[in-house]
Each structure stands twice: as C-alpha cells, then as structure tokens.
Amino acid sequence: MGTQGPRGESAELEELLAEVPDGVWQYLALGVALLVGVALLGQSLVFGVAALAVLLAAVTVVSAVEIVDAYDKEALTVFGEYRKLLQPGVHIIPPFVSRTYAFDMRTQTIDVPSQSAITRDNSPVTADAVVYIKVMDAKKAFLEVDDYKNAVSNLAQTTLRAVIGDMELDDTLSQRELINDRINEELDEPTDEWGIRVEAVEVREVSPSQEVQRAMEQQTGAERRRRAMILEAQGERRSAVEQ
C-alpha cells in the first residue's frame, strides 16, 4: 500500500479539523486552562487562583466575541437553535454554547460539470455551464436548504439536461442564448425559496458525439464539393458563351 505525501496528509488533517465543531475547541481551551491552574495551585494558592481566573476570563472573552467580515452575514445558533443573523462587525454572543455559519453575500460562481443529454431528434451531446448566484436572504439559505451551492449545482445539472433534451441538435448548437434564458427561468422559482437569486447562466460548450461530428464534417465536405462543381459548371458555360 502506498504512502501519502506531506501535502496529502496535511489536506486530510485540515478536513478532519474542519469537521470538529467550534465549541469543542473552546472546551479544550477551558480544560487546558484548568490544568494549568491546578498545576499553579501546587506552588502558590493565591497566584494559582489568580492565574486560573485570568485564563478562564480570556477563554470566555474569546468564545464570546464574533467578528463578521464586511461581505458576510452569519447565522447564529445557541444550543443548536437558530437565533438571528449577525451583520458585518463585532458581536458579543453567548460563550461556549454558540455556533456561527457564514454566508458570502457577494456574487458567486458555480461550475456545472459536463452533462450528457439526448436532443429531441435523438442526437447525443455533452454540455457544461456556469451559474452566477447571489445570496439574497441568508436566513432562508440557512434554514430552507442543507447546502445551497450543492443544491443549485444539482438543480442546474438536471435543468441543463432537460432543456437540451427539448431542443433539436441544430438549435442546441446555434441558439446558446435561448438555452441560457430557459435554464435561468427554470432555476428562478426553486432557488428563490432558498433565498438565492440566479443572476445569469452561461452554457460554455455544447458538443455532439464524435459520430455526429464526423457525419456533420462529411456533410459539410459534400456541400463544399457540390458548390465547387456548380461554380465550375457556371464558369465553363460562361467560357462557352464568350467563345
């Protein structure tokens, strides 16, 4: 079995740490403070009590102060129950029992991975897109959907397949704006319930299957040869008339 490199181990450690609730670190800090206090008590009772009080106060202050970035809003829960949205700035929250969830209020992009679909005239194609969204109501985004980015991505994937499946192959290749508008319309209603506004949808590429591409190339080549023959025949007729 192979061994992971330092970067892989670091990434795994970061993922594990991200899964640990914020309160765990606060309780851990409190435990360390208690242990230090107990150790100090063994040398000087007065000094140990004072040091322990200072450490407990510091841990409490750190746990009670929440700073929200200028472009964020944060949902605050206390004992797991939703309380309110925190606006940008500095806030005092109940220590040790609170948890916050940040929502970026700026325009965000969501990549829609390549999707396979069958057009109305039974031609297989693949297509991908990018969706531009903005959180308009952070409370809805927190309470109404588990992961709004993943939810928008999944909905955009199914909608992209459905829209392409309702069009002829030639239209999917030539009417990109129509596809964008239809996907945007289909996403509007469900995402509005999540507090999300879809600002734009851009289908980046629609590609027919290799077999269809070869057939199209053959058809294009045949059309070029037909036009060349017509031009050649017209030229010969003009030469004959001039003679």
Intervals of CATH 3.30.479.30 along the chain? 108-213
Q: pLDDT tens per residue, the chain (243 residues)?
A: 444 444 455 555 555 555 545 555 566 666 666 656 555 555 565 665 666 677 777 777 778 889 999 999 999 999 999 999 999 999 999 988 899 999 999 999 999 999 999 999 888 999 999 999 999 999 999 999 999 999 999 999 999 999 999 999 989 989 999 999 999 999 999 999 999 999 999 999 998 877 766 655 556 545 555 665 666 666 656 666 666
Residues 203/179, Cβ–Cβ less than 8 Å: yes
- Rounded CA-CA distance 163/182 in Å is 7
**How many CA within 13 A on the CB side of residue 91?**
20
**Backbone phi, psi, residue 210, to 5°:** -60, -40
Measure CA 46 to chain center: 54
Residues 104/111, Cβ–Cβ less than 8 Å: no
> What are the Cα distances from residue 90, in Å, to 63, 67, 86, 131, 225?
13, 5, 9, 32, 73
User: Which residues on adjacent β-strands are paired with residue 109?
Assistant: 132
What dotted CATH number matches 108-213? 3.30.479.30
The amino acid present at 185, given as its one-letter code, is: E
Nearest to 103 by CA among 130, 85, 82, 79: 85
> What are the Cα distances from residue 169, in Å, to 156, 177, 193?
20, 15, 33
Q: From the CB of residue 146, how many other CB atoms can be counted at a distance below 10 Å?
A: 7
- Rounded CA-CA distance 83/73 in Å is 13
